[in-house]
A = this chain, B = another copy of it.
Amino acid sequence: MREGEVIARLRRIATSPEARGLLDDVAVLGGLVVTHDTIAEGVHFLSSDPAGSVGWKLVAVNLSDLAAKGASPMAALLSLTITSSGKWEVDFLSGIEAACESYGLPLIGGDTIALPDGAPRVLGLTAIGKAGKHVPDRAGGKAGDHLWLIGTIGEAAAGLAQLRKDRHASGPLVEIYRRPVPLLTAGHAVAPQANAMMDVSDGLLLDAKRMAEASRCTLRIDLDTLPLSAAFIEAQGDDLKSRLFAATGGDDYALLAALPPHADPSTLSLPEGTTIERIGTLESGPPTVRLISEGKPVALPERLGFEHSHDQHRGSSAPPVAHRH
């Protein structure tokens, strides 16, 4: 028995329309968008990661789910475990506080429990947002839609690669890995026009495949159009291999949106400096991703991103993963 069976069991329980079949990043309850992410030491973050950055990231990944639905932050509840001296937890809370203040997310409750000695920390956050008039899910994409990417990809994975080589590495890529920025304002601006939208947390290709499956379309992505930052290119280069690295790296917290072909994102009031790029098209066809580069098909890599499976991310050297049901 594996996770798939557990998830299948969950889906049979969560049958109300608010649950969105557990196939979206969030639940929608009346005028609210509600999401919960849990992270564990040795799975989603490294024991050596600064505690403050773990706190920041827990808030940011939840806010990224709100951003992908065009929702505005209202409140959060924190599930905190305390191990040993409590010093790590106080630093962790400084990161929580910084992120909550930065994005106007009041912490209103939660639970604090002690764990047995030596147990990995498990930290959770429930974020509640105010829904806009339209809350795009993953399933609304239509053949003919244009596929847009808001934000850049690959930088966090490149930062993690630097940390794997040298746990004391620093610089802009490490900073982006540790302190992702949820694209709340951009998400809020794009959501009213989006037929489908989701955040790119587990890898562009994996998340695009999820949108393809939910929307029952083929998502064709032109790798040459992927927006790569100067810092990424300096670290990883700018060839097909590095583009596939960026497209499968994960931890990006960019937004992936299917917009009708007539939509013109340049008319949206996005924050200055927001990267928004058309990276492909939704087409009739099997629910998968097709890649092209220089006009020619490129085979899908075997690994599209961080899938949640038992064997992949055990132990403290495991990569960050994030799977939402």
Contacts and interface: CB of A to CB of B under 8 A. Distances in A.
A78 to B, nearest CB: 8
Contacts of A26: 109
Nearest to A7: B112
A312 to B, nearest CB: 8
A113 B29 contact: no
Most B C-beta atoms less than 10 A away, residue of A6, A85, A109: A109
B323 A113 contact: yes
Contacts of A111: 36-38, 124, 323-325
B36 A114 contact: no
A131 interface: no
Interface in A98-125: 100, 106-117, 119-120, 122, 124
27 contacts: A1-B87, A1-B90, A2-B85, A2-B86, A6-B89, A9-B89, A10-B107, A13-B96, A14-B107, A16-B106, A16-B107, A18-B108, A19-B108, A26-B109, A27-B108, A34-B77, A38-B111, A39-B113, A40-B81, A40-B115, A82-B310, A111-B324, A113-B321, A114-B309, A114-B314, A116-B314, A119-B120
B3 A124 contact: no
A112 B13 contact: no
A43 interface: yes
A35 interface: yes
A191 B319 CA distance: 48
A95 to B, nearest CB: 11
B112 A75 contact: no
Contacts of A114: 3, 40, 43, 308-310, 313-314
Q: Main SS of the interface on chain A?
A: mixed
Number of copies: 2
Nearest to A86: B1
Sorting the interface of chain A by its residue count into under 10, 10 to 19, 20 to 34 or 35 or more gives 35 or more
A271 interface: no
Contacts of A128: 29, 34
A66 interface: no
A115 B108 CA distance: 27
A116 B315 contact: yes
Contacts of A313: 114
Interface in A300-318: 308-310, 313-316
B86 A38 contact: no
A246 B38 CA distance: 36
B109 A34 contact: yes
Nearest to A105: B16
Contacts of A3: 82, 86, 112, 114
